[in-house]
Amino acid sequence: MLTFMFPGQGAQHRGMGAALFEQFPRQVEQANAILGYDLPALCQQSGPKLNDTAFTQPALFTVNALAEMSVRRTGVEPDFVIGHSLGEYNALLSAGVIDFETGLQLVKMRGELMARQNGKGTMIAVLDPDLAQLQALADELSPDFCIANDNSPKQLVCAGSVAAVEGASRRITAGNIGKVVPLKVSGAFHTRFMADAAAEFRQFCARFSFKPGRLPVVSNLSARPHDGRDWPERLAEHLTRPVQWRQTLAYLRQQGPMLFQEVGPGTVLTTLAKANLTLH
């Protein structure tokens, strides 16, 4: 069996998608019309704009989508699809729950709403963590500090208020709980600090139609396939709840012999898959 994995924010880099933009001019034209700017030009920029959440999300969604179109041209078809955070929208596209136009409109609004939360928190990666001690610290400091991405036994991402994250970082370092790496983000994604964005996004999602998926999409929230119900609620909830990536890979491993193929720029998810799978 085969699982396609679609990366999320953090996988973007200057020059991504250049060859794909040439292969799929019709989709690029459609994206430019929806976004209101030249997407290939954005992806060639070396300035901060590509790393601005409002621009990063539609750019990555489009590059991921074109990368999948290119892979499918070869006749390769997955049995399961997953996406990390933003990448879950590409998983929904791959499964036929949404079409390209709908997906791009959704992630455009999602990125804009999340960007508006600037200053409402921050995030850190914790490498080689003592999982029990880190969870105990998160429980103690909740709701101002929590685990936002459970990526692998070797990497967790924590988020919260700036003051709480700074304090937790000092305690993690002093207590040898793990190595702290600050992340260049504008907010505490996948936490309660995204509640305002989630409320508005729920209303926006209600304007769209969602189809039954032709492939299982394993949810970031539950690490189980989506049941296909109440998509506006699920997509809004996705902004405020943690990404269960380690648990997602564990679920897929239980389905039988599985190959994992990253579809999109970079190898972030391939690295995380190896970190999870080599420990079992």
Query: Among the residues of the chain, which ranges form H helices?
Result: 18-23, 25-35, 39-43, 53-72, 87-94, 100-115, 131-141, 162-174, 195-205, 231-237, 245-253, 268-277
Q: Taking Cα atoms as reference points, which of 234, 139, 232, 241 lies closest to residue 189?
A: 241
Contact indicator for 137, 172 with CB cutoff of 8 Å: yes
Residue 16 one-letter amino acid: M
β partners of residue 181: 125
Would you mind telling me the total number of residues written for the chain in this entry? 280
Phi/psi for 87 (5° steps) reads: -60, -20
Measured between alpha carbons, how far is 27 from 101 in angstroms, rounded to an integer? 9
Q: In a 3-state reduction of DSSP, which class is residue 259?
A: strand
Burial 60-95, CB ≥16 within 10 A → b, else e: bbbbbbbbbbebeeeeeebebbbbbbbbbbbbbbbb
Q: Taking Cα atoms as reference points, which of 256, 230, 246 lies closest to residue 279?
A: 246
Measured between alpha carbons, how far is 237 from 222 in angstroms, rounded to an integer? 11
- Residues annotated as part of the active site: 85, 190
